[in-house]
Structure 1
Amino acid sequence: MRDCPELGYQLLIFDWDGTLVDSIGRIVMAMHLAADACELPRCTDEQVRGIIGLGLPEAIRSLYPHLDDVDLAKRLRQSYSDNYLMLEAEPSALFRGVAEGLASFRAQGYRLAVATGKGRHGLQRVLADRGWLDYFDYSRCADETASKPDPLMLHEILAQSGVAANRALMVGDSSFDLLMAQRAGMDCVAVGYGAQPLQALRKCQPTLAIECFTELHAWLDGRASNQSVGVVLHDR
């Protein structure tokens, strides 16, 4: 186990799609192709982006609230999964600064976790593609716990890690991430380059709002430095 930083947060928890990985366009296209395959009307790009972060069953119920045919809903989920896998034949790129930032956080002693709307199989596949199966200390997926914005997956990560909520930070690109963190009693960072624009995310009153992943590293370093001399930062 790596040593934790003496000051500030001990555990950094990241959403995956739209926060670490630039996969939003592929998610949108996979949902459109699934709708076509099931002879359902396509939702708008904006509507699909608005459900990213939810578990797949919850996302489909939100996009197609009047879809009462259980078999058709199941076909839609499977078609989405198949199309996303096809589109991910070449893995989506990490956002700028993510690889370097995560490596630096690990070197500084932070513990790292993923809390994602992906299923476990999907997360394991993308981690394996990057050689990251052992990179994160903890992870929770939507198909093994409650979907965001329910805070259960964060409660489970905290319980597994032994870290208190006030020593953990959630980083995400959707309102579901931010609301989940707040319901878990946890600080949160909104990133404005993913599924939802920063203007909308600010309504959730995140602890910090950033437009580039590299800003997170600078903020954490500055926060630790100021805490060491008794200064409290307010970034909302």
Structure 2
Amino acid sequence: MNRYEVLIFDWDGTLVDSIGRIVESIRVAARSCDLPQRDDAAIKGIIGLALPEAIAVLYPEVSDVAQVEVFRQRYSEHYLALEAQPSALYPGVAQALQAFRDAGYLLAVATGKGRRGLDRVLMGQGWEDFFDITRCADETASKPDPLMLHEILAYCGKRPEQALMVGDSVFDLQMAQRAGVDSVAVAYGAQSLDVLQQCRPRMAINRFAELGTWLRSAAGSEVNAYVG
């Protein structure tokens, strides 16, 4: 029997290699608003937050609602232009997710993306009905608030100890902690493993395919998860 029954994934930096596009789009939006540029580490440090919260962290001096809205619009316009060619899934993601489904796991997404953005990329992958439930930052509380996870668990009818959160940011792992959910840190995404380990994840992976190996070990029995 599987130790976990619900696998919950962040999107950007965990399933999809989109970090560079996010950083570029933040820079373009900042230039359009005559705001100072932040370095890569600072920008990567806000990935996972909803966009309004991310702007507030990067530019706490910006309090004008209209300027925040211009920043949001410029970011969205540039990111959408880049996504005319959708960001690629990380190696092994598609195979592993299908194998997890075949093994009987419930699959969920908990993301800082907006609903329109997530629906667009899911459609591009042909995954409109692939996940059992998805939750986005503009329809619930932003990470690291645990509300997203509470909603996913309620929908799935599962307890926190039956779920696992997989993410590449401290916001993912803090959200899991606050919800009483175990987590796996993704070391190839937005934030460094040293930072992520401060949140005490159960495991860190350097390739997505490693998740299947670890889940088999955690379950104490064989499951048909792709391990690459």
Look up the match of 2:19. 24
CA distance in 2, matches of 1:102, 1:37: 39
**2:178 aligned with 1:178, yes or no?**
no
| Residue of 131, 139, 150 corresponding to 2:126 | 131
| Residue of 205, 211, 222 corresponding to 1:216 | 211
CA-atom RMSD in angstroms: 1.0
| Residue of 96, 99, 103 corresponding to 2:98 | 103
CA distance in 2, matches of 1:69, 1:185: 37
| Residue of 106, 111, 122 corresponding to 2:117 | 122
| Residue of 154, 158, 174 corresponding to 1:159 | 154
CA distance in 2, matches of 1:119, 1:185: 25
- Which amino acid is 1:31 matched to? I
**2:41 aligned with 1:46, yes or no?**
yes
**2:50 aligned with 1:55, yes or no?**
yes
Look up the match of 2:225. none
- Which amino acid is 1:72 matched to? Q
Q: Which secondary structure does the structure 2 equivalent of 1:171 belong to?
A: strand
CA distance in 1, matches of 2:39, 2:139: 29
Deviation at 1:226, TM superposition (A): 5.8
**What are the superposed Cα offsets for residues 80-127 of structure 1, whole Å, 9 maximum, x if unpaired?**
011100111100011111111101101101010000000000000000
- Which amino acid is 1:22 matched to? D
| Residue of 8, 17, 27 corresponding to 2:3 | 8
- Which amino acid is 1:108 matched to? A
Q: Which secondary structure does the structure 1 equivalent of 2:183 belong to?
A: strand
- Which amino acid is 2:20 matched to? G
**2:195 aligned with 1:193, yes or no?**
no
Look up the match of 2:137. 142
Deviation at 1:225, TM superposition (A): 2.3
Q: Which secondary structure does the structure 1 equivalent of 2:220 belong to?
A: helix
Which aligned segments of 4 or more residues in structure 1 are displaced greater than 6 angstroms? none
Deviation at 1:176, TM superposition (A): 0.3
Q: Which secondary structure does the structure 2 equivalent of 1:72 belong to?
A: helix
CA distance in 1, matches of 2:166, 2:82: 25
Look up the match of 2:108. 113
Q: Does the Cα contact within 8 Å between 2:2 and 2:221 map onto a contact in 1? A: no
User: What TM-score do the two structures reach when normalised by structure 1?
Assistant: 0.92
Deviation at 1:7, TM superposition (A): 2.7
User: What TM-score do the two structures reach when normalised by structure 2?
Assistant: 0.95
Q: Which secondary structure does the structure 2 equivalent of 1:170 belong to?
A: strand
